[in-house]
Chains A and B, each alone.
Chain A
């Protein structure tokens, strides 16, 4: 009886191992930012439909996770909305023996999204108001700092519940980068970073967790990437830009923010939050793929390079459907040249 069981077992193992392994399947593992996750998951799915032997498995573990795992070598490439700083780049160089390249993919926006019972209007938020809320200084929805920008909207006097990221996050980096630029209090402490010492608030894991938390908690406010608010039909507010206008996050606003950028640096690391100009949405950002400059496996290297070329052409046409703005043409041209740096 045990012998029969053993044979059945062995046959099952063989079947599962062989049957599920397709001869030429190239499986590439990637992980990182949740900010562009809806876009990446669509791209990788479309790419897999086009080239069925290439499967790019992207895990949305947060920008911090993307940076950590690509440095540890447990994923083939990472993704982050906060560019790696010099210390992290050096650490990658030391650990993996090659440089790490940043490749911008799309432009997105952080929006302040909220769940206030009875309020369906798109509220206007000044930079100081947002900083005050997240610092824990503004604690009620009907606080004058919020109310004065929203004449005509009946705000309840309920306590504000702040929701932020519990994990290391590029979305947090973009948000705190903006807050640091508009509020001196915020800039001193907590400052900007992928993970900060939040004065108040609940923690959610990933853009998904923050959106989920806001949906479940009345009187809450948090920051998520635009598409998460749209896909889940959540209310989000307008933010005051450097020119004083209250702008709702949109493709036009995000594109305008990038257009104001003077010159894209060689390594593609740049911040476009609080950009000057009319019609600009102030909490916009590029998001990057983090690709090692040396990839050992030739099939993977070719697959990744091919994907980048596809992404910069066909991929850019799919961004608007998911409310991400495509890259400016000058940036695309620069990136195509930079792909050659991957050896």
Chain B
């Protein structure tokens, strides 16, 4: 057998040694091993991450157990570690972000998928996806110097409309859970739009045509036929956006006020899990305190895993390509 002739995949050469050598030279096994190693490295990294988070948070987990998540006072100097204010802030700001982002996002997705001509739709979607590429710290920059002063100016108007609820009571200093929620909404809208648009586009035209043939208006077709069909995918996009907003660090810490207390009003300052880790981790003075921030990281990790998992399942079953 010539040394330079390409070996067919299933060739069976004579001696076992030369067979092995030939297969090695053909590179298939090497390629397989190398790429497999890389795939295994990814698994190893994920396992390492979970392992490190779990092990390094052992101290506070053993000491506080579940009361860590239920306590409301965070006072490292006194040794009191109650993480509820951070969980509260994270949940509230993300909920507000979704409340603002879902109508705007799904609305824009409907426009782009149903109403806009293809070229316009592609062009505008391209621009909106650029919004998704803007780094978080830039949203924070604009948050401090543009959004917060704007909200301070708008405060009387907001209070006039919504001031009757305890959600918008109390003094407003600009930096607040409300501001953080608005910034997060701006950051997650591109994700909702991009995925929802794809999902809506994937709805078979027969469904639309059927509804229109029965006399429905464009809107009624969209609302009563298309959206229910695309429901799972849109839900998936919402979960994805939620997962992203839970982990968002920089933009939130720059506008949320960084106060570790639970307030009823959205106008009040608050704190989120990611923000407190970013602010305090490097000054944790002992292993216990450092462990508490790692435990917070574990909590955040767990939350995003669950929500991302739900998102993937929902989106994969409604679009042909998985979402990015």
Contact = CB atoms under 8 A, between A and B. Distances in A.
Chain B interface bracket (under 10, 10 to 19, 20 to 34, 35 or more): 20 to 34
B118 to A, nearest CB: 34
Contact of B285 (A71, A198, A205, A213): A71
Given A67-B285, A159-B171, A216-B144, A168 B280 contact: yes
B81 to A, nearest CB: 12
Nearest to A220: B173
A196 B283 contact: no
Contacts of A193: 77
Nearest to B280: A167
B269 A167 contact: no
Interface string A160-197: 01000011100000000000000000000000011111
B258 A62 contact: no
Contacts of B121: none
A166 B258 contact: yes
B258 A202 contact: yes
A190 to B, nearest CB: 9
B259 A161 contact: no
Contacts of B286: 91
Interface in B99-138: none
B258 A204 contact: yes
A217 B271 CA distance: 18
Given A202-B258, A203-B258, A203-B259, A68 B174 contact: no
B57 to A, nearest CB: 17
B201 to A, nearest CB: 35
Nearest to B73: A197
Contact of B175 (A65, A67, A202): A202
B206 interface: no
Nearest to A61: B282
Size bracket of the A interface: 20 to 34
A167 B259 contact: no
Given A197-B75, A197-B78, A202-B257, A168 B283 contact: yes
Most buried by A among B259, B269, B282: B282
B148 interface: yes
A88 interface: yes
A163 to B, nearest CB: 9
Nearest to B268: A202
Interface string B196-226: 0000000000000000000000000000000
Interface string A121-146: 00000000000000000000000000
B173 to A, nearest CB: 5
Contacts of B258: 166, 202-205
A8 to B, nearest CB: 23
Contact of A161 (B173, B271, B284, B285): B173
A168 B148 contact: no
B76 interface: yes
B279 interface: yes
Contact of A196 (B75, B257, B282): B75
A64 interface: yes
A274 interface: no
B283 A217 contact: no
Contacts of B279: 166-167, 203, 205
Contacts of B260: 203
Contacts of A202: 173, 175, 257-259, 269
A201 interface: yes
B66 to A, nearest CB: 22
Contacts of B144: 216
Contacts of B259: 166, 198, 201-203
B77 A69 contact: no
Interface string A189-233: 000011111100111110000000100110010000000000000
Nearest to A88: B285
A217 B174 contact: yes
Interface string A46-67: 0000000000000001101101
Interface of A: 61-62, 64-65, 67-69, 71, 88, 91, 159, 161, 166-168, 193-198, 201-205, 213, 216-217, 220
Interface of B: 73, 75-78, 80, 144, 148-149, 171, 173-175, 257-260, 269, 271, 279-280, 282-286
Given A68-B283, A195-B76, A196-B77, 5 more contacts: A166-B279, A167-B283, A195-B77, A202-B175, A205-B258
